[in-house]
Amino acid sequence: MNNNPLLHIFGEVLFDHFPDGSRVLGGAPFNVAWHLQAFGQSPRFISRTGDDPSGHEIATLMAAWDMSREAVQTDNEHPTGSVRVLIQDGEPHYEIVADCAYDFIDSKLLEEKQTQGILYHGSLAIRNPVSRTALKAAKARHQGKVFVDVNLRPPWWDRETLLPLLYDADWVKLNEAELIALCPDEHGLEAAMQAFCAQFDLEILVVTRGEQGAVAYDGQQHFVTVKPPASTAVVDTVGAGDAFAALLLLGLSKQWPLTVTLERAQAFACSLVGRRGATVADRAFYRAFSEQWGL
C-alpha cells in the first residue's frame, strides 16, 4: 500500500524534435510524472493528446512504464504536442507549436472528486484559456499543496496570467533568469528570492542556476545551496530542471529535510544530463538511486 500523499501532475506531454532528426518524449509535467513513476509514486497525470500516431505512441509508452492514463484525454481535432529543440552554445532553445491537444484539456472530463496531496503544474499548458479553465477546476477540488514550476517560454506567457498562479502556490521552482524577469527591482539573488517569497507568501522557493547548481529559501531566513560536481559530464541539458522538480516533489511528499531533498535533486539532475533527452526508459537507472535513498 502506498502511504505517500497523492501526486497530481497537470500539463503538457509532447515530442521534442532534435537537430539530428531524432525525437524524444517530453513536456515538463510529463517528464516529472515519468520520473516519479519510476520512483514508485504512481502520479495522476492530467493531460491531453491527439488521436494521431504520436498520441498512440505516448499511450503505448505510458502503459509500458505502468503510468496511469485515466486522466489523459484524447483530442480528435488537435495534434499531439511537439517542440523543435535547437542547441545554441550548449543551451537548449525551444520552438513550441501552438494549438496542440494539451492546450485543450477539458475541465468537464476531469474527475469531480476532491483530491489530496500535491498538485503540480507548470506555466506553459495554461497559455490557452481552455486548459487554464481545467487547471482552475482541478485546483478548486484540491485540498493539498500546490507546486508551480515556472517555465517562461516567450511568447507563451504574460504577467496577468502567471501572477494569480503564483499567489495560489505553496512551493515554486524557477530558474535565475526567470526570477530576475519577475523580480527586476531587487539586486542580488538572495534579496530577490526573499522578496519573491514574501510577495507570494510561499513556503519554499527553489531557484535553479544551471552549472552553478540551485538555491532554496524556506521563507524563514534559511537558504540552502547545492552545486554539481565539476566532473559532471553533459550530453544535453534538456529536462534537467524537470528531473530536479521531480525530486523536489518526491522529497516534499516524503518530508525529507530540505537540504537532503536538494542534494538528491542535484545528484539526479546531474546524472540525467549525461544522457540524451529528458526521460530515461531504463529502470536500472532509477533503481540505483532508489536503493541509495532507501525508497
Residue 68 sits in a domain whose CATH number is 3.40.1190.20
pLDDT at 7: 96
Query: What is the pLDDT averaged over residues 224-247?
Result: 86
Region 186-211: mean pLDDT is: 94
Measured distance CA(138)–CA(235) in Å, rounded: 37
The pLDDT of residue 54 is 96
Give the separation between CA 153 and CA 164, rounded to whole angstroms: 18
Confidence of residue 20 (pLDDT cuts 50, 70, 90): confident
Residue 1 lies in a domain: no
Domain that holds residue 199: 7-293
Q: Is residue 104 part of a domain?
A: yes
Q: What's the domain count of the chain?
A: 1
CA 228 to CA 213: how far, in whole Å?
6
Cα-flanking dihedrals φ and ψ of residue 81, to 5°?
-60, 150
Q: Residue 39 falls within a domain, yes or no?
A: yes
User: What is the distance between the alpha carbons of residues 263 and 273, in angstroms, rounded to a whole number?
Assistant: 16
Q: Within a 13 Å sphere around the CA of 278, how many CA atoms are in the beta-carbon half?
A: 30
Per-residue model confidence as pLDDT tens digits over 254-287? 999 999 999 999 999 999 888 877 788 899 999 9
Confidence of residue 5 (pLDDT cuts 50, 70, 90): very low
Mean pLDDT of the chain, nearest integer: 91
pLDDT at 73 over 90: yes
- What single string gives the DSSP state of each residue in 15-83? EEEPTTS-EEEE-HHHHHHHHHHHTT---EEEEEEESSHHHHHHHHHHHHTT---TTEEEESSSPPEEE
Residue 283 lies in a domain: yes
| Interval 167-174 mean pLDDT | 97
Q: How far apart are CA 150 and CA 172, in angstroms?
A: 7
**Better-predicted residue by pLDDT, 233 or 190:** 190
Q: Which residues contact 115 (CB under 8 A, 6 or more apart)?
A: 6, 8, 138, 141, 142, 143, 144
Sequence-distant (6+) residues with CB within 8 A of 242 are: 28, 31, 32, 35, 149, 278
**46 in a structural domain:** yes
Phi/psi at 230 (nearest 5 deg)? Answer: -60, -25
Share of the chain above pLDDT 70, in %: 98
147 touches 169 (CB < 8 A) = yes
Cell numbers 499543496: residue? 145
**Residue 38 burial (CB < 10 Å; 0-12/13-18/19+)?**
buried
66 falls within a domain: yes
Quick check: 2 pLDDT over 70? no
* 185 half-sphere exposure, CB direction, 13 A CA radius: 3
Report the alpha-carbon distance of residue 239 to residue 35 in Å, rounded: 11
Strands 223-226 and 214-217, by their bridges, are antiparallel
Asked if the model's pLDDT at residue 30 lies above 90, the reply is: yes
2 within some domain = no
Q: Please, are residues 115 and 141 in contact by the beta-carbon 8 Å criterion?
A: yes
